[in-house]
Amino acid sequence: MAKQKHIYDESKIQTLSAIEHIRKRTGMYIGRIGDGTQYDDGIYILLKEVIDNAVDEFIMGHGKKIEIPIEGARVRVRDFGRGIPLGKVIDCVSRINTGAKYNDDVFQFSVGLHGVGTKAVNALSTHFFAQSHREGRFSGASFARGELLKKTSGKAPGEPDGTLIEYEPDPEIFGKSAYVDDLVQRRLRLYACLHAGLVLIYNGERIVSQNGLIDLVLEEVGEEATYPPLHYRAPTLEIAFTHTQRFNETFYSFVNGQFTNDGGTHLSAFREGLLKGVNEFAKSRFDGDDVRESMVGAISIRLKDPVFESQTKNKLGNADIRSELVAQIRDIVADLLHRNPETAEIIVKKIEESRALRKELQTVKKLARERSKATSIRIPQLKDCKVHLNASRKRGLDSMLFITEGLSAAGSITACRQVMTQAVFTLRGKPLNVAELNRDAIYTNEELYNLMRALNIEESLAGLRFQKIIMATDADVDGLHIRNLLLTFFLRFFEPLVHAGHLYILETPLFRVRNTKETRYCYSEAERDKAIAALSKPEVTRFKGLGEISPNEFKQFIGAKMRLTPVEVTFEHKVANLLRFYMGRNTPDRRQFIMEHLRVAAEA
């Protein structure tokens, strides 16, 4: 009888300590690990967990300043609140489910709920030091990967009350991650806007907001605001909103100072309350899409018992607060409009224009649909994948669409693709530049309309048929121009699709270096030169376009080792200005910019 390879018995049952569990299942506690290039990468979640505790002190009226110096991988966070009770410092930073956040007398609107945050930071750090100051005395402790190393205590006359946390993320968990200054500043700026009057000092720079969410909205819209944001602030609720010239609505939601990037009950209540408040004021029945199109807004609420979807607190689930919050926001919005008649007039006019344009667009849509039906039952430029053919229009988790230029490149990809999950859309020449055009351009331009149909995003982005949209263009000037035109199309009309992480750039080799024994594909001139030096008497081929790569070779570049660069937007409010400058009609300004920077580069 063959010996069993996998025996399930008592020896396979394990009991992990809290520290071991955090280190083994890190994602449960902090979400993604990352390398520090993304806003929600793990090292920023560690920073957030520590700062949250300092902010909770400010919320309760203790300490108006937080110092946050970061040097390399080492982070220090010093608040000036009440300080952890000296006899409980070690427990509060190392024992799971230990803290004062369960006591409403001490923390009424805490961000931390489960007594896990700082303990996770401790467990995931090679160096962790906590020290509390209270009434001239201090108590502290040093840890390594959650294990206690040393305790300290004594007198510290003249030292302000508060808590100091110092830590260094463990490279065993986070690899070569590094803090990006802009991402740290953005997170701290959000804290400042959510807590008017709180001073955060980051590496000597003072970050503070006196106007709360109105500052956040203004920073997000830049010069795009149609009118000064309307703003309401109370101890447990704050909202702010304005309109822009964008095509999409953008809302930011927060609970107890926590950014809920997946929204939740409070965000849906905010959107509905806005609609009802506007309709009550205008004595009209505007549609939600007309009211909220191009709107940028923010809501912040404080709850005693928030229910989040996970430890990372991305989505609020308190369904019981919704109806009351909708009514409250409706009354607030109606009152703001009555108190600001000039702004209210601009808002109503803006909504009426949106409604009129939407009706006109419906006519254009109808004509485009009739034209496409008359031309072909199917989309002529699309080679679909089998996961979608004869199936529902639901997006497959592994499905992807390659957008290619020209028949030769499309032919290479089509011949070697995974037919179950990989589809191909062929561009016929350069797509239309839509940088300064309106939505009707999508419907009057056959190629862009067919691309939108292939993606199934005509009515809603929720219908997106592909998990990944991959721009596969040549690595020459024409290819880069086509890529920029596609980026303009997506950012102009479907920006949320980009924010959701669906748009990618396919990286393909520029050179093939080979001899009789070995072949190397190189993605840069530096890689080429290294390959030439490593191989004896090599043959070097420069690929001018994707169509020059044979299907047999191309297969590896869209297979398991495919190199994809995600398209990411860090600061949304800069997108419109960037598109206008680089892709708009301001050719003289752009030429002057290029000449000045060429001169600087030459001098360098």
Euclidean distance between CA atoms 110 and 113, whole angstroms:
7
Span 176-188, pLDDT tens digits: 889 999 999 989 9
Residue 370 binned pLDDT confidence (cut-offs 50, 70, 90): confident
Distances (CA, A) of 125 to 149, 169, 173, 334: 13, 4, 9, 50
pLDDT score at 597: 58
In a domain, residue 125? The reply is yes
Q: Which helix (H) or strand (E) holds 559?
A: none
User: Comparing 68-82, 160-174, 586-600, which segment has the lowest mean pLDDT?
Assistant: 586-600
Instruction: Count the domains in the chain.
Output: 5
pLDDT score at 475: 78
**389, pLDDT greater than 60:** no
Residue 143's beta-bridge partner residues? Answer: 128, 148
Closest CA to 84 of 64, 98, 96, 74: 98
When pLDDT is averaged across residues 188-193 and rounded to a whole number, the result is 93
Residues 160 and 186 in one domain: yes
Residues 321 and 224 in one domain: yes
pTM: 0.74
State percent of the chain over pLDDT 90: 50
Residues 316 and 389 in one domain: no
When pLDDT is averaged across residues 328-339 and rounded to a whole number, the result is 97
Residues 27 and 163 in one domain: yes
**600, pLDDT greater than 70:** no
When pLDDT is averaged across residues 326-347 and rounded to a whole number, the result is 96
Span 450-486, pLDDT tens digits: 999 999 998 888 889 999 999 998 877 888 889 999 9
pLDDT score at 551: 86
Three-class HEC string of 187-209: HHHHHHHHCCCCEEEECCEEECC
Residues 312 and 189 in one domain: no
Tokens of 149: 């190393």
In a domain, residue 88? The reply is yes
User: Comparing 101-110, 190-199, 313-322, which segment has the lowest mean pLDDT?
Assistant: 101-110
User: Comparing 184-193, 369-378, 423-432, which segment has the lowest mean pLDDT?
Assistant: 369-378
When pLDDT is averaged across residues 494-519 and rounded to a whole number, the result is 91
**107, pLDDT greater than 50:** no
In a domain, residue 104? The reply is yes
Other CB atoms within 10 Å distance of the CB of residue 260: 24
Residue 489, burial from CB neighbour count under 10 angstroms (0-12, 13-18, 19+): buried
Domain, as residue range, for 532: 511-542
pLDDT score at 578: 73
**572, pLDDT greater than 90:** no
pLDDT score at 40: 83
Euclidean distance between CA atoms 130 and 166, whole angstroms:
6
Residues 222 and 144 in one domain: no
> Of all residues in the chain, what percent are helix, strand and coil, respectively (each to 5)?
45, 20, 35
In a domain, residue 417? The reply is yes
More confident residue, 332 or 510: 332
Residue 31 belongs to a domain with what CATH number? 3.30.565.10
Euclidean distance between CA atoms 213 and 193, whole angstroms:
5
Residues 56 and 181 in one domain: yes
Span 40-90, pLDDT tens digits: 889 999 999 999 899 989 988 899 999 999 999 999 999 999 999 999 999
User: Comparing 164-173, 354-363, 372-381, 429-438, which segment has the lowest mean pLDDT?
Assistant: 372-381
Last residue of a domain, one of 334, 352, 370: 352
Euclidean distance between CA atoms 503 and 487, whole angstroms:
9
Tokens of 195: 């807590």
Backbone angles phi, psi at 341, to 5 degrees: -60, -35
Q: What is the DSSP string of 144-186?
A: ETTEEEEEEEEE-TTPPSEEEEEEEE-HHHHTT----HHHHHH
Residues 537 and 553 in one domain: no
Residue 339 belongs to a domain with what CATH number? 3.30.230.10
pLDDT score at 103: 46
Other CB atoms within 10 Å distance of the CB of residue 449: 21
pLDDT score at 409: 84
**445, pLDDT greater than 50:** yes
Residue 601 binned pLDDT confidence (cut-offs 50, 70, 90): very low
Tokens of 391: 């199936």
Euclidean distance between CA atoms 490 and 500, whole angstroms:
12
Per DSSP, the three-state class of 120 is helix
Euclidean distance between CA atoms 87 and 153, whole angstroms:
10
Residues 515 and 503 in one domain: no
Closest CA to 409 of 248, 595, 558, 547: 547
Last residue of a domain, one of 352, 368, 396: 352
Residues 525 and 412 in one domain: no
Other CB atoms within 10 Å distance of the CB of residue 478: 14
Residues 228 and 348 in one domain: yes
Identify the residue whose tokens are 């890529």.
483
In a domain, residue 459? The reply is yes
Closest CA to 92 of 59, 140, 27, 136: 140
pLDDT score at 32: 82
Residue 498 belongs to a domain with what CATH number? 3.40.50.670
Residues 254, 298 contacting (CB under 8 angstroms):
yes
Residues 537 and 565 in one domain: no
Span 396-426, pLDDT tens digits: 567 999 999 888 888 889 999 999 999 999 9
Tokens of 132: 């509390």
In a domain, residue 603? The reply is yes
Residues 424, 413 contacting (CB under 8 angstroms):
yes
Residue 114 binned pLDDT confidence (cut-offs 50, 70, 90): very low
In a domain, residue 11? The reply is no
